Chain A
Amino acid sequence: MKLETEILEHLLIDREVGRLSGDVKALLDAYLSADPHAQSQSAQIAETVALARQALCQFRQPEPAPLPPLRRPTDLPLSGRRNARRLAATAFSMAACLVIGIGIGLWVLGPVKEKSQAVSMTRLAPPPEETPQGEVGAEGLWSMRRLYQQAKQAQPRPAPVLVWKSPTRVSLAEKGSIQ
């Protein structure tokens, strides 16, 4: 039985790079010993692979560098760690802004207790009737109700009017007689 040239070539290359198992290698050797043409082909491939290995490995030699010690990721200035640090800084500044904003808001609107009570009351209470558009968010700093209250407080109180009522009443007849 004669092997096809292409199959033989595959087997020979596999053998040269150490890919063939022992039993297949033995079979191939037996075949080669009986076929001089296959032998010459085997020799050429062996020579080619050996020469290629030699050429490539010569390049490998120049300067064997000492192996640097393994650095932990904490020591490494990796771009990923830089990004994480930048993200953390941004998140921190945003959180700080949020806290300051909430603080200012609470200070302007009054104590937290009243607000929370008001909220709980509104939760318990039945749903309110539709409020006019202008009344939405009436608790706000610039709400109409607040502005109205401020304006009301700013107006001077009218001077009290003294109304005197006599305990005695004069009848109309008497009035006419007086006249």
Chain B
Amino acid sequence: MEAENIETLYKAHAPVILLYLRRLVGNGDMAADLLQETFATALSSEKNLRKAASARGWLFGVARNLGLNAIRRKKVLSPLDIDPPAADAQEDERLEQMWKAIGGLPDVLRETLRLKLQQELSYEEIATVLSIPVGTVRSRLHHAVRRLRERMQESKA
């Protein structure tokens, strides 16, 4: 990949990937290092990046793998598992309930939901990130929404 292209990709996607990594590893410095490593991998794996249907999805996939490796090495916990909800969420009871419901989802469903609703990735991009078929992305997302809906109805009742 030419330097110009990498610069363009960096400007376009680095901010959202940095946010994603910060949420994933829960450490700003580590996330910044992982971001650099993600783009260094993009530079060294030019062919794979070109082959990818979506550069954004491919970069997210690399960032995710690096982040998960870092978590395994350092035993960092995902912030969603440890952080209390934000102040606004505590004020709003329903939002807090939703927060808890999301926290109660299995990892695979929660990760798919986060990639869709937080990162606003397409099904195809999520499939690239998680290395799963698009149909699996769809079914996981539907399953997650169905569960959240059930939990919210239970809490209402």
Contacts and interface: CB of A to CB of B under 8 A. Distances in A.
Contact of B40 (A16, A19, A76): A76
B149 A71 contact: no
Interface in B5-39: 6-7, 10, 14-15, 18-19, 22-23, 28, 31-32, 35-37, 39
A138 interface: no
Given A48-B148, A51-B94, A76-B36, A59 B28 contact: no
A45 B86 contact: no
A65 B19 CA distance: 8
A60 interface: yes
Contacts of B28: 63, 65
Contacts of A17: 116-117, 141
Contacts of B114: 56
A39 interface: no
Contacts of B116: 17
Nearest to A62: B86
Contact of A71 (B19, B36, B88, B117): B36
A59 B148 contact: no
A54 B149 contact: no
B95 A58 contact: yes
B8 to A, nearest CB: 11
> Would you call the interface of chain A mostly helix, strand, loop, or mixed?
helix
Contacts of B129: none
A52 B102 contact: yes
Contacts of B113: 52, 56
B141 A70 contact: no
A51 B43 CA distance: 39
Interface string A130-170: 00000000000000000000000000000000000000000
Given A48-B148, A59-B86, A65 B117 contact: no
B118 A9 contact: no
Contacts, number: 98
Interface string B49-88: 0000000000000000000000000000001100101101
B89 A58 contact: yes
Interface string B104-148: 000000000110111000010000000000000010011001101
B152 to A, nearest CB: 6
B149 A67 contact: no
B18 A67 contact: yes
A65 B102 CA distance: 25
A57 to B, nearest CB: 6
A58 B85 contact: yes
Nearest to A49: B145
A56 B117 contact: yes
B129 to A, nearest CB: 16
A55 B116 CA distance: 13
14 contacts: A44-B149, A44-B153, A49-B145, A51-B95, A54-B95, A55-B95, A55-B98, A56-B102, A59-B80, A67-B18, A68-B36, A73-B40, A73-B44, A76-B37
